[in-house]
Amino acid sequence: RYSRTRHTGDGELYLASTAVFMMEVMKFCLCLGVVFYQGNCSVTALRSELYKHVWASPYDLIKLCVPSFLYTIQNNLLYLALTNLDAASYQVLYQLKILTTAIFSATMLGRRFSATKWASLVVLTCGVAIVEISGSSDNDTSENKDQNRFVGLVAVLSAACTSGFSGVYFEKILKGSEVTLWIRNIQMGLFSIAIALVTAMVQDSAKISQKGFFVGYSPIVLTVITVQAVGGLIVAVVVKYADNVLKVFASSFSILLSCLISALAFDFRPNRSFLVGASLVLLSTVMYSKPSKRPPRDVLPLVQHGTRKSSLVM
């Protein structure tokens, strides 16, 4: 959020489309590094893995075109949302990805939910609605004049929908597959990088030709790109080697931390409605993660699957 409101010394704001491209490139390189390390740092082993899962697997690549395209669109939508919403509202509203993931999981994968999980989704929806009705935003009017809350709302809701669908679609692809998560990221990265580059050229070709591809870049922008690229991969590792409870606490803590940082950095002053809505979102997260007495196949372990999918984006 800070990077989308802070201009560089020459008064230029960086282009979100180029930031998405650089993020995809960084994720791709990191995954290549992991596969290289897993192959005992052998170039031959890396080349063999890439040939087997890229060049010799065209059908797998075609199937991954859909999530690659949606994840790239989603990342651009998130930058648009951050430009038009305060950080706290953005963080709370984006939790609707839990609801969209649940809906697509029920329709596409035939997953069933316990009564507690259904109730948590209702609580989540109510909490997000209250936050939006509250209209909370930064009090700096000079900053708000360049914001359009409605545009930010549409962007974050669209991102939540693309996150839910692409995540469930990707999960369906992974069913019964022995391909590692890192190889899948490399396969998706090939398309994501190409799509992100085309998006940047089509959307901001004039600005790029006049001011350069890296206009507005600063240490803060590079930090944001790095955090988004590395953060998603770290979450995937945490989910694999830790448990869902840790992820739930991290999600809840991120909402509280966003509110705190917004209050300190942007003079953000949440009203009573915002606090009530944010509390309901936190409550829904805890409710959804509550262990069910039913067999695992009867419920959707959404936090685990949803995390794994979102980790491939942010």
The pLDDT of residue 243 is: 42
Instruction: Specify the pLDDT at position 302.
Output: 43
Torsion-angle region of residue 40: left (phi > 0), alpha (psi -120 to 50) or beta? left
4-18, 106-120, 294-308 — which is least confidently predicted?
Answer: 294-308
Which range (130-139, 184-193, 214-223, 292-301) has the least confidence? 292-301
Q: How many CB atoms lie within 10 A of CB 237?
A: 12
| Per-residue model confidence (pLDDT) at position 311 | 39
What percent of the chain stands above pLDDT 90?
Answer: 11
**pLDDT above 50 (res 113):** yes
What integer pLDDT is reported at residue 245 of this predicted model? 43
Average the pLDDT over 147-158 and give the result: 85
pLDDT mean across residues, the chain = 76
Res. 278 pLDDT band, cuts 50 70 90: confident
The band of 22, judged by pLDDT with boundaries at 50, 70 and 90, is very high
Q: Is the pLDDT of residue 138 over 90?
A: no
Assign 175 a pLDDT band (cuts: 50, 70, 90): low
Using an 8 Å Cβ cutoff, are 110 and 299 in contact?
A: no
Is pTM beyond 0.85 here? no
| 205: its two tokens | 């070709």
Q: What is the pLDDT of residue 267?
A: 66
